[in-house]
Structure 1
Amino acid sequence: MIKLFHSNWIIREEWFELLKRVPNEELLRNRIGGQGSILNTIFHILDVEYSWICGIQGKPEVQVRFENYNTLEQLKTLSDSWMQEIKLFLETWSDDFENDIVTVPWSEERYTEGEILLHIIAHEIHHMGQLSIWAREMGIQPVSANVIGRGLFVV
């Protein structure tokens, strides 16, 4: 499961690099689907990932506002910062924790750590598909979502 996080992060970095050539106005343009714009969708991906990881750890919910991170550079900085914290957490995670029960401040439901991690992975992949459609609408070849060939496994 951890390798899928790494794959998503590699793909995310490629999206950051690709979107550097797109004007901020285009990244903020309201679109159908996702969270309404490219930048808001990326912000949503980051927020969901970090919130759920904090939830697993029993940390208080961190409230961040998109208005404070509405450029690609600001989102990249936020992503890098949160990714470092998440990497530290994942280094301590074990499959033995997969069925441990978690409750989070924004829900009365009970979840397992394993299902939360799978949700985070699938959530990002889902939204990367939306970014791919929007990139094609702008005439840009999207980042590949392939896990294969990303150097995650030593051959």
Structure 2
Amino acid sequence: MLSFFEYNWQVRDEWLHWCEQLSSEVLLQKRVGGVGSIQYTLFHIIDVEYSWLRAIQSQDDVIFDFDSYKSLEQLKILTQQTLSENKAFMTGIEPHTYNQKVYIPWEDEFYTVSDILHHLVAHEIHHIGQLSVWARELGLTPISPGYIGRQFSSLSKI
């Protein structure tokens, strides 16, 4: 499972770097489909991952206000702040906990840790696909979504 998170983190970092070629206006422009703009989509990916992983740990949700992250540099800082916590959690999670039920307050539901982790992987990949479509609409080459050939930490297990 860790290798899929590392994959998403690598691709997210590549997209943030890719965005440096775009103006703030283009990054914030409302787009068809998805959750809105390129920048809001990246913000949403970061926010969702952080919220769900904190929920697994029975920690309170931290509500981020997008208005505080409307520059690409602010968004990069947010991803680094949340990523340090997310990496620490994901590298320490034990597979025997995957079947544990977790209460998700904003859903008022219980889900297994495994279901949440799989949801997070699929969620980010889904939005990365949207970013790819928008890149093509701008006449630009999107970040490669390929998994094969990427290098992950030695902590990742099959």
Q: Same fold (TM over 0.5)?
A: yes
* Counterpart check, 1:99 vs 2:99: yes
Q: How far 1:153 moved relative to its partner? A: 7.7
C-alpha distance in 1 between matches for 2:52 and 2:78: 16
C-alpha distance in 2 between matches for 1:7 and 1:91: 14
Q: Which amino acid aligns with 1:7?
A: Y
Q: Which amino acid aligns with 2:30?
A: N
C-alpha distance in 2 between matches for 1:34 and 1:66: 16
What's the CA shift string for 1:86-134, capped at 9, x where partnerless?
0111121011011000002212211000110110110000000000000
In structure 2, runs of 5+ residues without a counterpart are none
What corresponds to 1:43 in structure 2? 43
C-alpha distance in 1 between matches for 2:35 and 2:71: 15
Percent identity (aligned)? 45
CA-atom RMSD in angstroms: 1.1
Q: Which amino acid aligns with 2:135?
A: A
What corresponds to 2:124 in structure 1? 124
Segments ≥4 residues shifted beyond 4 Å? none
What corresponds to 1:9 in structure 2? 9
- 1:22-41 correspondence runs (5 A): 22-41=22-41
What SS does the aligned partner of 1:9 have?
Answer: helix
What SS does the aligned partner of 1:120 have?
Answer: helix
What corresponds to 1:86 in structure 2? 86
What corresponds to 2:52 in structure 1? 52
C-alpha distance in 1 between matches for 2:153 and 2:26: 36
TM-score, length-normalised on structure 2? Answer: 0.94
In structure 1, runs of 5+ residues without a counterpart are none
What SS does the aligned partner of 1:131 have?
Answer: helix
What corresponds to 1:134 in structure 2? 134
Q: How far 1:52 moved relative to its partner? A: 0.0
Q: How far 1:39 moved relative to its partner? A: 0.6
C-alpha distance in 1 between matches for 2:3 and 2:17: 21
Pair 31,102 (structure 1): closer, same or farther in 2 beyond 3 Å:
same
What SS does the aligned partner of 1:103 have?
Answer: strand
TM-score, length-normalised on structure 1? Answer: 0.96
Q: How far 1:152 moved relative to its partner? A: 2.7
Greater RCO (CA < 8 Å, at least 6 residues apart): 2
- Stretch moving more, 144-153 or 56-65: 144-153
